[in-house]
């Protein structure tokens, strides 16, 4: 809904749902039908009751349905999270059901590994090409000295290569290679050979085209199927799909594949809590079966297998990255609008905005962790 199309918000019905929701928002700086750019404007009389009944799932779905609009969803999300409404926005029944399901089932089993690829990454390369920068990096950029999204993504790739201490002729494994951004960069600038794996057919197809002529192999494969020996291993933005029941096998696989004296760089979004939980809207519409690891999860799963050399947190950079993606998405949506529904457009705008708000509130983190296997020398990580 553009500013020219916006209509006046409705007068909220004076009922119990409205009073309860208003009380929950008190002190957050967010007001229903308020005048601030982060205040949601409500267009459906059942909005309040839906939010109280469905929590964050209802908030996201009602936005997709056009029940409300907000100029700065990112700031709204940040303020709500800082006010402590994050976990409270998930109905207790949903939290209990997810914990039971995650406890009884391996939601990220080998048989289910390709679900997220089909649901999200295979949505359409044309969409992601317009949202991302020319590197096609779909992970946090490194904004320390960068001014543009492209500069930030190139800086992230260069930082990863430096942390891995790449040398010509090395064999590198990229677990979760996406559209081949790291594989292309490392092969082109560091003269290494790269094997990249992804669970997305669309990603694999485009990655092969982007890496044509370089010593890069792109495979449609699950990490649990890998064999071989590699001097360096990197995993950028994939560990979020591994799941807590598979952390041990993931690190065991890395340890088995990594050569003596080798380095492994893990780049992942991180949770402040070790409690196994998931946002129901993100789980249903964006990253099915995704689970964010905590620092404890990573430390415990890697203990006895790999030596942790460095832990780098630049979570606030994801806020800037997501906002840059949203700006690209908004600027280029008209080029592909005839291929996608308005519901998809609102889904992506909401997803990018609320995630930016979560990083701004420091509710989520972004970690780069470097591990070694049998390394004797001192390790000094670049920044």
User: Which residue from 120, 113, 112, 245 is spatially nearest to 175, judged by alpha carbons?
Assistant: 113
Residue 248's pLDDT is what?
96
Residue 118 is predicted with a pLDDT of 64
Query: Per the structure block, which two tokens stand in for 307?
Result: 């030596």
Please identify every stretch of the chain with a pLDDT value under 70, giving residue numbers as ranges. 1-6, 86-119
Nearest to 269 by CA among 373, 144, 136, 358: 358
355 is catalytic: yes
Choosing from 48, 70, 140, 355, the catalytic residue is 355
Backbone region of residue 128 per phi and psi (left: phi > 0; alpha: psi in -120 to 50; beta: other values): alpha
Residue 122 is predicted with a pLDDT of 75
Q: Give the pairing of strands 68-69 and 41-42.
A: antiparallel
Q: What residue ranges in the chain does DSSP mark as E strands?
A: 41-42, 68-69, 171-175, 193-198, 216-220, 230-236, 258-271, 307-313, 364-372
Give residue 207's pLDDT: 97
As given in the structure block, the two tokens for residue 361 are: 């509130």
Q: Given this model, what pLDDT does residue 111 score? A: 52
Q: Which residue stretches of 65-219 are H helix?
A: 73-82, 92-104, 115-116, 125-131, 149-163, 181-190, 201-210
Model pLDDT, residue 92:
55
pLDDT tens for residues 334-365? 999 999 999 999 999 999 999 999 999 999 99
- Report pLDDT digits (tens) over 73-93: 999 999 999 999 866 555 555
- pLDDT value at residue 100: 43
Rg of the chain's alpha carbons, rounded to an integer? 21
Those residues whose C-beta lies under 8 Å from the C-beta of residue 273, and which sit 6 or more positions away, are 294
């Amino acid at each position: 809904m553009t500013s020219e199309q916006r209509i006046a918000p409705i007068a909220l019905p004076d009922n119990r749902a409205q009073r309860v929701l208003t009380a929950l928002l008190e002190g957050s700086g967010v007001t229903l039908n308020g005048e601030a750019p982060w205040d949601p404007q409500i267009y459906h009389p059942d909005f309040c009751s839906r939010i109280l009944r469905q929590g964050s799932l209802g908030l996201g779905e009602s936005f997709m349905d056009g029940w409300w609009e907000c100029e700065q969803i990112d700031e709204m999300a940040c303020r709500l999270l800082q006010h402590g409404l994050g976990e409270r926005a998930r109905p207790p029944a949903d939290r209990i059901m997810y914990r039971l399901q995650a406890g009884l089932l391996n939601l990220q089993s080998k048989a289910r590994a390709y679900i997220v690829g089909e649901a999200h990454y295979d949505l359409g390369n044309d969409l992601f090409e317009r949202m991302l920068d020319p590197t096609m990096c779909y992970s946090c950029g490194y904004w320390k000295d960068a001014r543009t999204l492209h500069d930030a993504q190139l800086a992230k790739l260069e930082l990863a290569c430096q942390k891995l201490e790449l040398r010509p002729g090395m064999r590198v494994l990229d677990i979760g290679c996406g559209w081949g951004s790291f594989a292309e960069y490392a092969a082109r600038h560091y003269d290494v050979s790269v094997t990249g794996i992804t669970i997305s057919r669309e990603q694999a197809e485009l990655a092969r085209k982007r890496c044509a002529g370089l010593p890069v192999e792109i495979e449609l494969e699950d990490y649990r199927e890998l064999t071989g020996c590699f001097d360096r291993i990197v995993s950028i933005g994939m560990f979020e799909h591994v799941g807590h029941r598979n952390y041990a096998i993931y690190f065991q696989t890395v340890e088995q594949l990594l050569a003596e004296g080798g380095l492994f760089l893990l780049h992942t979004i991180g949770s402040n809590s070790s409690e196994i939980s998931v946002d129901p809207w993100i789980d249903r519409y964006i990253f099915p079966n995704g689970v964010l690891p905590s620092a404890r999860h990573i430390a415990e799963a890697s203990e006895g297998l790999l030596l942790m050399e460095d832990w780098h947190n630049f979570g606030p950079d994801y806020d800037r990255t997501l906002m840059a993606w949203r700006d690209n998405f908004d600027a280029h949506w008209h080029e592909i609008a005839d291929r996608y529904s308005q519901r998809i457009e609102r889904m992506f705008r909401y997803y990018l905005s609320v995630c930016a708000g979560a990083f701004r509130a420091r509710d989520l983190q972004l970690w780069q962790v470097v591990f070694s296997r049998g390394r004797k020398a001192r390790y000094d990580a670049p920044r």
